[in-house]
Amino acid sequence: MSKTKVLVVDDSMTMRALLCGALERVKDVEVVGLANGAAEAREMVKTHRPHVMTLDIEMPGMSGIEYLAEIMENDPMPVIMFSTRTTDGAADSVEALRLGAVDCLPKPKVAAPAELDAIIGKLGKTIATAKNARMPVPGGEAGPSGGGAAIDWNGRLTVIGADASCTSSMFSLFGQLPADCPPMIVVQHLEPGVVKGMAEKMDAQVAPRVVVAEDDMAIEKGTIYFAPQGEAHLVVTAWPDGKLKLLPRDPVAGERPSISLLFASSAKAATVDVVGLLLLSDNEDGKGAANAIAGVRGHCLLPSSDGGFTMERGYASQPVKAEDLGKTLIGLLSK
């Protein structure tokens, strides 16, 4: 297996050395260059053709956000952002994910062994995801007054599983929905402190209302619910006239909140009237979620190896092009 080539971009010489040292301890990773900013990085991309880039958000001159936007417009590639600001509502982190970054990780503060070990573990997992990252689903954005045509809803419940790399796809997908769209419930695997800012930014840019779910919250039309980060899983208690419940239980498949628990509770409540959409691939939590939907013969849309999706129900399946994902989902929710 060939090694994953990584280019490190950071204006701090100390941070470049720290990240390079951490990356050199990650199996099957090769650091092919260290750039001090966007100008040097452009030349190194041409020379070394890295598979993945790590990019600092806060840089003088052209910021990491500006350079990321340039990359995604001209020559998209998997980019992992690093930021010193990871508190709730960190706007730069959310904007980086919206633009198409695979993830946004907190910058290490010191070169202590314990912190380096944590970085190595997270970087190894993230780089493995990044190398095979899917490109954002096409479709464009919509403002608060935008969105698609009204949906004559058939009453099916929609649950969605994603990770940080799927953020751009979700902005695109939700931008195609009208303000009174069927309710949708999302569990997204994110770094701590991001989900609140994610919901706020998405709420400002798409027609439906976007909120962070609360315990005993009613499930209503025109609303997209994001599972909060923290000590609980998000589940559906009943359908129709359902409510959301936060369950303070141990992680499932290493995740809390868990996609598979959300899907399983929704499948139990809505049975065949549930539609599951998985935007992430090769994830243990996601595999459990898909099995839960299949068990009640509900509809499930899953990533396929060709960059598109597969719609499955029971033993039946059909391919769905990435650009047709929004249209297909709306079709499943319409009478």
CA end-to-end span of the chain, whole Å? 49
Distance of alpha carbon 68 from alpha carbon 264, whole angstroms:
37
Q: Is 160 or 145 the better-scoring residue by pLDDT?
A: 160
Q: Where are the alpha helices (DSSP H) in the chain?
A: 13-23, 38-48, 64-74, 91-99, 113-131, 167-174, 195-205, 259-270, 284-295, 325-332
Q: What percent of the chain has pLDDT over 90?
A: 65
Comparing 102-111, 202-211, 244-253, 318-327, the range with the smallest average pLDDT is 102-111
CATH 3.40.50.2300 assigned to domain 4-131? The reply is: yes
Q: What average pLDDT does the chain have? A: 89
How far is the C-alpha of 26 from the C-alpha of 283, rounded, in Å?
20
Counts of helices then strands in the chain (DSSP H, E): 10, 15
Is residue 199's pLDDT more than 80?
yes
What integer pLDDT is reported at residue 25 of this predicted model? 86
Q: What residue ranges do the domains of the chain occupy?
A: 4-131, 157-332
Q: Distances in Å between the alpha carbon of 169 and those of 280, 299, 314, 316, 334?
A: 11, 20, 26, 25, 21
User: Confidence band (pLDDT; 50, 70, 90) for 142?
Assistant: very low
Given pLDDT bands bounded at 50, 70 and 90, which one contains residue 111?
Answer: low
Extract the tokens encoding 243.
Answer: 């409510």
CATH code that applies to domain 157-332: 3.40.50.180
What does the alpha-carbon distance between residue 13 and residue 40 come to, in Å, rounded to a whole number? 14
Confidence of residue 105 (pLDDT cuts 50, 70, 90): confident
129: Cβ contacts below 8 Å, ≥ 6 apart:
102, 103, 163, 165, 282
Residue 143 has pLDDT above 60, yes or no: no
Angle between helix 91-99 and helix 167-174 axes, rounded to 10 deg: 80
pLDDT at 317: 93
What's the token pair of residue 57? 């958000």
What pLDDT is recorded for position 285?
Answer: 82
For residue 315, the model assigns a pLDDT of 85
- 174-186 pLDDT tens trace: 999 999 999 999 9
- Give the largest CA-CA distance in the chain: 59
The residue to which tokens 């060709």 are assigned: 306
Lowest-confidence range among 81-85, 205-209, 301-305?
A: 81-85
User: Cα Rg for the chain, rounded, in angstroms?
Assistant: 20
Residue 224: per-residue pLDDT: 98
Percentage of residues in the chain with pLDDT exceeding 70?
Answer: 91
- Residue 87 in this model has a pLDDT that exceeds 80: no
CA distances from 25 to 30, 124, 214 (A): 10, 9, 41
Q: What is the pTM of this model?
A: 0.90
CA dist., res. 81 & res. 130, Å (int): 11
**Equal fold, 4-131 vs 157-332:** yes
Q: CA angle 99-102-108, nearest 5°?
A: 110
| CA gap 274, 333 in Å, rounded | 10
Side by side, the strands of the sheet bearing 157-163 are 209-212, 223-226, 184-189, 157-163, 274-278, 299-303, 309-313, 316-320
Instruction: Give pLDDT, residue 147.
Output: 74
| Residues 9, 91: Cα–Cα separation, whole Å | 20
Q: What is the pLDDT of residues 254-298, one digit of tens each?
A: 899 999 999 999 999 999 999 999 998 777 888 888 899 999 999
